[in-house]
Amino acid sequence: MEQITVEVCVDSVASALAAKSGGAQRVELCSDLLEGGITPSSGLLSVVRSNVSIGVYPIIRPRPGDFCYSEPEFETMCRDIEVARSEGADGVVLGLLKTDGCVDVERTRQLVELARPLAVTFHRAFDMSADLLRSLEDVCMTGADRILTSGGEQECLQGVDAVAGLVRASGGRIKIMAGGRIGINNAAAIIERTGVSEIHVGLATPVTSPMLHRNSRLSLGKAPGNEYQRTQVMEENVRKLKHAISSLNPRTALP
């Protein structure tokens, strides 16, 4: 039976450790997940790499917002890829679009070549593109190893037919990894209906701040009082998800 790969999106050392202990094969390492994730600091990457033996893929995203980048932003991405290589990352996660919604093939290819021998995932910028099937062909041209997609929908469960179509159209040329609000209760159905062999999950759980003194009047970038709220991946939830999909074989799933 071919193993289904579980990638967990994390933004802390604690979440990365929980993902590893829970049985995930890979983490996508980000900062600022409230904005969809941006490039983590070299310090965070270094400490995660030192403490986690599974695959570590930092996202290479210089800012929140769209995926059409200026030349200085592209240079930032190049330098962040060099940092990822030097810190021992196993892969990187990136995505670039042109103003018309097409994949920026030329500059993506440059980043893929710069990243080697690291693996490269083209992230959900893919879902923001103008035409998913055309973008599939474009990403294949860049040399990237996989595409993370929800089928162009907010939630993967809504886009399962599109994801299944991408799996068929890829013809094994590139991996299609399903993502987008996949959890314990729907992971098995999504895998069965799409035929993917890799899924990307968040599994973030709110955790209580240990702070005893709290200033509820002040906000430092969040709504007042929310400075004491954050989320973390829990090992138990990763284990539950792994159990939920343990009997599935993607080779026999019906796209």
Q: What pLDDT shows up at residue 224?
A: 63
Residue 249 lies in a domain: no
Residue identified by tokens 């270094």 is 46
Question: What pLDDT is stored for residue 250 in this prediction?
Answer: 54
Please give the full DSSP string across the chain, using - where no structure is assigned.
-PPPEEEEEESSHHHHHHHHHHT-SEEEE-B-GGGT-BPPPHHHHHHHHHH--SEEEEB--SSSS-S---HHHHHHHHHHHHHHHHTT-SEEEE--B-TTS-B-HHHHHHHHHHHTTSEEEE-GGGGGSS-HHHHHHHHHHHT-SEEEE-SSSSSGGGGHHHHHHHHHHHTTSSEEEEESS--TTTHHHHHHHH--SEEEE--EEEEE---SS--TT--SSSSTTGGGEEEEE-HHHHHHHHHHTTT--TTT---
* Residue span of the structural domain in which 172 resides: 5-208+227-244
First to last CA, the chain: 17
In a domain, 213, yes or no: no
pTM of the model: 0.94
CATH of the domain at 239: 3.20.20.380
Neighbouring CB atoms inside 10 A of 88's CB total 13
pLDDT, position 223: 63
Residue 53 lies in a domain: yes
pLDDT at 254: 39
**Is 54 part of any domain?**
yes
pLDDT at 109: 98
> Contact, 32 vs 48, CB < 8 A?
no
Q: What is the pLDDT of residue 120?
A: 98
Determine, yes or no, domain membership for 251.
no
At residue 143, what is the residue type?
G
Residue 97 confidence (pLDDT):
98
Q: Tell whether omega for the bond before 117 is within 30 degrees of 0, i.e. cis.
A: yes
Residue 140 inside a domain? The answer is: yes
Give residue 228's pLDDT.
Answer: 83
Give the Cα separation of 236 and 217 in Å (integer): 35
Q: Is residue 253 part of a domain?
A: no
pLDDT mean for each 10 residues of the chain (255 residues): 87 98 98 93 98 98 98 98 98 98 98 98 98 98 98 98 98 98 97 97 94 83 72 98 85 42
In a domain, 222, yes or no: no
Q: How many domains does the chain have?
A: 1
